[in-house]
Amino acid sequence: MSLIPQNLQAITSTIVATAQDVGRAPQSVQLLAVSKTFGPEAVLEAVQAGQRAFGENYLQEGVDKIKALQAAGAPALEWHFIGPIQSNKTRPIAEHFDWVHTVEREKIAQRLSEQRPEGMAPLQICLQVNISGEASKSGVAPDELAALAHKVAALPNLTLRGLMAIPEPAEDFAQQRAAFAQLRVLYEQLRADGLALDTLSMGMSADMRAAIVEGATIVRVGSAIFGSRNYNKA
């Protein structure tokens, strides 16, 4: 028997309780179910339990899943691309996804803008920030963020919504909060500079509570919903 419905309920309860603890409206935090490596049947179970927003890291797997869910007659779903973006892979992202969380270069944003099909709503964009300065992590450097944000905000067919980060893992709650606070400060600086941002995509299964305390509006949760991943299938 699948635990997906129970897991979704448990995560939602944690989001509600954490938001209320810091005086936030629970509905100000959206749960993004990260379904990478899990098949359409797992996504469909989550849909049947009421989940509507899903995140995918791998382009072809994500596109195949989007098509499979449409073919299965699923209700309208919101698909977020949250993986690294190669410049030669922007067209399928622009054609199939509603959100992209991992824009870190102007060239990628320009391609997404040019390749967004006519008649589709603007692609909702978050800029990925390398908040911990890790050499292995993607993301724009904090001191280069403002220039990139203003360039992306001016592009047609895109709507710049906010920032995303994957901080260095930390066990300590205070350390988790400190990293997310850095992203929130950058977000607030951009808003003060005239950009109409409303989204902080931060926090995953292990550090979701700290992210919500620091103002996350989207938390990206995978394994706590779907279970352990088998990367050999990806």
For residue range 152-180, list pLDDT tens digits in order. 999 999 999 999 999 999 989 999 999 99
Mean pLDDT of the chain: 95
Q: Quick one: pLDDT at residue 208?
A: 96
Residues in Cβ contact with 43 at an 8 Å cutoff, skipping those fewer than 6 apart = 33, 35, 54, 65, 69, 74
* Averaged pLDDT for residues 210-229: 95
Token pair listed for 174: 């205070």
For residue range 27-37, list pLDDT tens digits in order. 999 999 999 99
Show the domains of the chain with their CATH numbers. 4-226 (3.20.20.10)
pLDDT category, 102, cuts 50, 70, 90?
A: very high
Q: Quick one: pLDDT at residue 230?
A: 72
Q: Quick one: pLDDT at residue 231?
A: 66
Q: Quick one: pLDDT at residue 234?
A: 44
Dist. CA 75–CA 86, nearest whole Å: 30
Please calculate the CA angle 213-219-222 and round it to the nearest 5 degrees.
135
Rounded to the nearest 10 degrees, the angle between the axes of helix 145-153 and helix 173-192 is 50
Q: Quick one: pLDDT at residue 195?
A: 98
Residue count of the chain: 234
For residue range 52-90, list pLDDT tens digits in order. 999 999 999 999 999 999 999 999 999 999 999 999 999
Residue, of 232 and 184, whose pLDDT is higher: 184
